[in-house]
Amino acid sequence: MPSSALSIRMPCSIRGRPFRPCTAAQNLAPCTYIKGNCRIPNWNGFDPRQMQHQSMNEDRRESLQASVIEASGSQTPLNIIAGNSKAFYGRTAHGQTLPIEDHRGIVDYSPTELVITARAGTRLSELESILEEEGQVLPFEPPHFGEGATIGGTLVCGLSGPSRPYTGSIRDYVLGVDCLGGNGKLMSFGGQVMKNVAGYDLSRFLTGSLGTLAIVLEATLRVMPRPGASLTLVQDADPATAIERFNRWAGLPLPITAACACENKLYVRLSGTRQGVLDARTRLDGDALEDDGRFWSDIREHRHPFFTADRPLWRLSIPAGTRPLKIDGTWLYDWGGAQRWLSSDISAGQIRQAASNAGGHATLFRGGDRDSDVFHPLPPALFRLHKNLKESFDPAGILNPGRMYTDL
């Protein structure tokens, strides 16, 4: 195995330097900045990172609240927009535009506690850059789909990258949110630590709601140390063989953090300690993939050639062990077979019926008719629950109406 194929990274424990001022620090003194939960005096009276992040730190909570109260009183529908990088997702948006991208900034970050709090308009790239300084990551690998991607948009879209089956989804890392209901009421759910408590965890419930329940103003997320080493292996395998291998490997103690298959090739990523990755390498066949970071980034961001086809793109979520479905089109198998991308002109009814028969559901992810049903139809009882929640959070029905379903 070429030594260059194994990507080795320094552990975060030796990189404990402060990174920025936060709102709390700015209220103390111009010569103070934050390291973890500690206030550290800067005896030189100037921290260059303070200039860098201060311009990105704006609290627009009051103005956003006033806009929502006004819209609620006049029954004006609102189309909530942050970075607009995921405008393609969901049904066609309607209503008066309410931008939240200026409500931004890192509110708090404690590398030692593995917790970061940011306003909804904070660029995802900015947040990930700050985590990189401390050797930490968002383990669910959120897709950006554009330079303007924000943490708020990432949360309400509920999208996760290739690591999702192995490290968890974005919902698993949301600790708390501050949000604004459709009546203009400010609400706060969760906190900054993991707790086992009774009652509904509404902070996670807002994940994937597409802004139809409330406007997320601020989110607290758990982060994780970046793996010390990473290696991707490539094997020849048709779809059925790839699915069989994915499920067999799932029962073994292997540090797998991503697995996909397309064009009769199987790709599996091993991540963890250097020794752990090297030991796992001896148990699996295949050639090491050079520049595997770019490959998985292209899968996550839909830059891989598979995603360039000029046909509707469907996302099918079905049990990972399900054999390949007999639907005409081009397939890419992600998440070890649990998430399957289909590029096809087959009717929506046929695709959804096939997904239902396999025990899953299908979403029209890109292209196609965005004014019709994009998400899999809900059973009547579940739809009533959705409707009741919508009425509780947004009594006037003004927040992203119809973005998920026609009557929600």
| 203: confidence class by pLDDT, cuts 50, 70, 90 | confident
The predicted pLDDT at position 204 comes to 85
pLDDT at 141 over 60: yes
Rounded to whole angstroms, the Cα distance separating 378 from 362 reads 11
- Concatenate the DSSP letters of all residues of 74-119 into one string: HT--EEEESS-TTTTSSSPP-SEEEE-TTSB-EEEEETTTTEEEEE
Position with higher pLDDT, 4 vs 83: 83
Sign of the four-CA dihedral 319, 322, 326, 329? positive
Measured from the Cβ of residue 173, the count of other Cβ atoms closer than 10 Å reads 24
Region 213-239 average pLDDT: 97
The whole-number pLDDT of residue 105 equals 96
Task: Tell me if 334 sits within 8 A of 299, measured CB to CB.
Answer: yes
Structural domains present in the chain: 18-225 (3.30.465.10)
Question: Counting beta carbons within 10 angstroms of the beta carbon of residue 129, is it exposed (0 to 12), middle (13 to 18) or buried (19 or more)?
Answer: exposed
Q: Name the token pair of 311.
A: 């046909």
Question: Do residues 1 and 282 touch, judged by C-beta distance below 8 A?
Answer: no
Residue 336 has pLDDT above 50, yes or no: yes
Q: Which residue spans within 212-366 are E strands per DSSP?
A: 214-222, 224-225, 229-236, 256-262, 265-272, 287-288, 313-317, 330-334, 339-343, 361-366
pLDDT of 308 strictly over 80: yes
Cα dist from 318 to 31, 74, 201, 252, 352, whole Å: 54, 43, 25, 21, 11
DSSP for residue 395: T
Give me the pLDDT at residue 398, please.
97
The model's pTM is: 0.86
What tens digit of pLDDT does each residue of 60-75 get? 999 999 999 999 999 9
Q: Give the 3-state secondary structure of residue 318.
A: coil
pLDDT digits (tens, 9 = 90+) for 232-289: 999 999 999 999 999 999 999 999 999 999 999 999 999 999 999 999 999 999 999 9
Cα separation, 291 vs 227, in Å, equals: 16
The answer to whether 149 touches 160, Cβ cutoff 8 Å, is no
